[in-house]
Amino acid sequence: MTTRAADHIREKLEQAILTGSYGDGVRLDELQLAEKFEVSRTPIREALQMLAASDLVELIPRRGAFVRHPGFVELVEMFEVMAELEGLCGRLAARRMTDSLLSELKTAEQGCMSALDDGDTDAYYRANEQFHTLLYQASGNSFLTAEAKRLHKRLQPFRRLQLQARGRMWQSMEEHKAILLALETGNAEASAGLLRDHVAIQGEKFHDLMAGYHAQPAGQGVEQMV
Amino acid sequence: MTTRAADHIREKLEQAILTGSYGDGVRLDELQLAEKFEVSRTPIREALQMLAASDLVELIPRRGAFVRHPGFVELVEMFEVMAELEGLCGRLAARRMTDSLLSELKTAEQGCMSALDDGDTDAYYRANEQFHTLLYQASGNSFLTAEAKRLHKRLQPFRRLQLQARGRMWQSMEEHKAILLALETGNAEASAGLLRDHVAIQGEKFHDLMAGYHAQPAGQGVEQMV
DNA sequence: TGTCAAGCTCTTGTATACAAGAATATTGTT
DNA sequence: AACAATATTCTTGTATACAAGAGCTTGACA
């Protein structure tokens, strides 16, 4: 556990940026934030440094910190990398799967199913997240797990958006079933391929979704993309 | 260009850590560093924050910043991920290769060859680095390029070490030739596979190398691994 | 009226001062 | 002599003070 104020502030700002409270290019004023969080500029500056390291803000010398949302092209690029990382997780997980993790994965899958039955998008979202997190762990590669989690988090708002596409939740669950089967039978290459496609298709669905958009009300975390 | 002192200090400390000047677990005292760099604690602290973000040091609240070298297991894990990222670069590069980048790649390959003829390990190392950097760019995915560069940099000292293995430089160049051919003919899957193996083999060679070691004089950037 | 420049203001970058927790030394007790 | 409790010192975390560059305002001139 951390007792540093800067960490807490970073967390808050990160959430605010990821949920779209701060639009692209918005300048984060140190004094304003200092008042808002009731601390001095020092911990604010530390938080901004950390956000810059995660590439959530751009730090321009003598100018300030500016929120930096990924553009459309960058987003597609990120999905491309995420697909590969998940594919690797799948390949390794198929070889290194443990009984306990497999059963946890099945539980998460059950969670997806019942959420789908209830039409509870939020619950589906959480169970889906759990499924993927477990998969990362099953890779048995903690560095990979950390990297996958990092990117997953970064793509979180856009994945959520993409899940709202018509029929996507149902299709996603079908894919999960196939993935679970491949993992259970230890079919490494099948797992890798299925998972890569599973994520890649998210990027493509997202692409489709954006193509029709281009005029979205603010505050949805999308308005900053061209 | 940046005019901030903290960035400069970060750069210096990063080099010092990567080259092994600071061993694993060493505590970086803020006051000491402030004297050494002739600045106050403020920019030192900012530099340490950034290093913590890159996972080069661990920041323990109220205790300080401790250098954190990857252990053997983590290193193998990192090579595993690096192999996959390079593989992806190869797959994309084969599809998106431009004439200009291909010719640059060939130039870098020439550089490797002549360095090998001269027995100049250092020159070979630089040309090899150039080869891989160009490959990343050829992927046409700037996010992937950035991630690959980041991890490449992190593995740099160990890759260098590994190149000293007997016959490895020669073998590496043979692999480069095959990779170039696959890229030139636009064979995406072959490029991906060859590059993945090219890096994976580095991890394995590294493994071999370590197996015999276990008693290395200090200052080589290896002593911190079990 | 538009443009450019000098000065002013505002914000960031750095240094220093202060607060509080952690490590260490000291002293008293068994 | 060994251990525990306490006091002291040292280091980090935070606040404030100071320095300097960026941008804006105002005014002069074309």
Tens of pLDDT, residue by residue over A2-25, are 778 999 999 999 999 999 999 999
pLDDT at B226: 33
Whether B208 contacts B200, CB under 8 Å:
no
User: Do residues A47 and A85 both lie within one domain?
Assistant: no
Query: Would you say residue B226 lies in a domain?
Result: no
The Cα–Cα gap between A176 and A170 comes to 10
Question: Going by C-beta distance under 8 Å and a sequence separation of 6 or more, which residues neighbour residue B66?
Answer: B25, B26, B27, B28, B57, B58, B60
The Cα–Cα gap between A142 and B70 comes to 12
- Stretch A193-208: mean pLDDT: 85
- Stretch A86-92: mean pLDDT: 98
Is B215's pLDDT higher than 80?
A: no
Q: What is the CATH number of the domain that holds B203?
A: 1.20.120.530
Is B217's pLDDT higher than 90?
A: no
Domain encompassing residue A89: 72-212
User: Do residues B38 and B88 both lie within one domain?
Assistant: no
User: Do residues B124 and B187 both lie within one domain?
Assistant: yes
Is B16's pLDDT higher than 60?
A: yes
Q: How many domains does chain B have?
A: 2
The Cα–Cα gap between A29 and B99 comes to 46
Query: Would you say residue B174 lies in a domain?
Result: yes
pLDDT range class, residue B159, cuts 50, 70, 90: confident
Give which of B198, B183, B181 is closest to B91, Cα–Cα. Answer: B183
pLDDT at A121: 83
| pLDDT tens digits, one per residue of A99-141 | 999 999 999 999 999 998 898 888 988 999 999 999 999 999 9
Whether A90 contacts A96, CB under 8 Å:
no
Complex prediction ipTM: 0.90
The Cα–Cα gap between A26 and A20 comes to 11
Half-sphere exposure of B77 (CA within 13 A, CB side): 17
User: Do residues A104 and A21 both lie within one domain?
Assistant: no
The Cα–Cα gap between B190 and B23 comes to 40
User: Do residues B112 and B201 both lie within one domain?
Assistant: yes
Tokens of residue B183, six digits: 């890229």
From A40-44, A70-74, B105-109, B161-165, the region with the lowest mean pLDDT: B161-165
What are the C-alpha distances in Å from B16 to residues A40, A53, B70, B81? Answer: 32, 20, 15, 25
Instruction: Say yes or no for a CB contact (<8 Å) between B80 and A141.
Output: yes
The Cα–Cα gap between A224 and A25 comes to 9
Number of H helices, E strands in chain B: 9, 3
b/e B180-218 (16+ beta carbons within 10 angstroms → b): bebbeeebbebbbbbbbbbbbbbbebbeebbeeeeeeee
Mean residue pLDDT across chain B: 89
As ranges, strand D nucleotides with an atom below 7 A of a protein CB are 11-17, 21-23
Chain B nearest CA to A78, separation (Å): 6
b/e B18-27 (16+ beta carbons within 10 angstroms → b): bebebebebe
User: Do residues B58 and B76 both lie within one domain?
Assistant: no
User: Do residues B83 and B31 both lie within one domain?
Assistant: no
Is A39's pLDDT higher than 70?
A: yes
User: Do residues B77 and B62 both lie within one domain?
Assistant: no
User: Do residues B121 and B199 both lie within one domain?
Assistant: yes
User: Do residues A38 and A81 both lie within one domain?
Assistant: no
pLDDT at B158: 87
How would you list the strands of the sheet with B64-67, edge to edge?
B27-28, B64-67, B57-60
Query: Would you say residue A101 lies in a domain?
Result: yes
Q: Which residues of B touch A141 (CB under 8 A)?
A: 77, 80-81
pLDDT at B211: 63
Chain A nearest CA to B52, separation (Å): 9
Closest partner CB to A81 (pick from B3, B49, B143): B143
Judged by C1' against the alpha carbon of B34, the nearest nucleotide is C15
Residues whose C-beta lies under 7 Å from strand D = A 4-6, 39-43, 46, 62-63; B 27-31, 41-42, 45, 59, 61-65
Give which of B92, B170, B178 is closest to B136, Cα–Cα. Answer: B92
- Stretch A161-179: mean pLDDT: 85
| pLDDT tens digits, one per residue of B92-147 | 999 999 999 999 999 999 999 999 889 888 898 899 999 999 999 999 999 999 99
pLDDT at A30: 98
Whether B48 contacts B59, CB under 8 Å:
yes
The Cα–Cα gap between A98 and A176 comes to 18
pLDDT at A1: 59
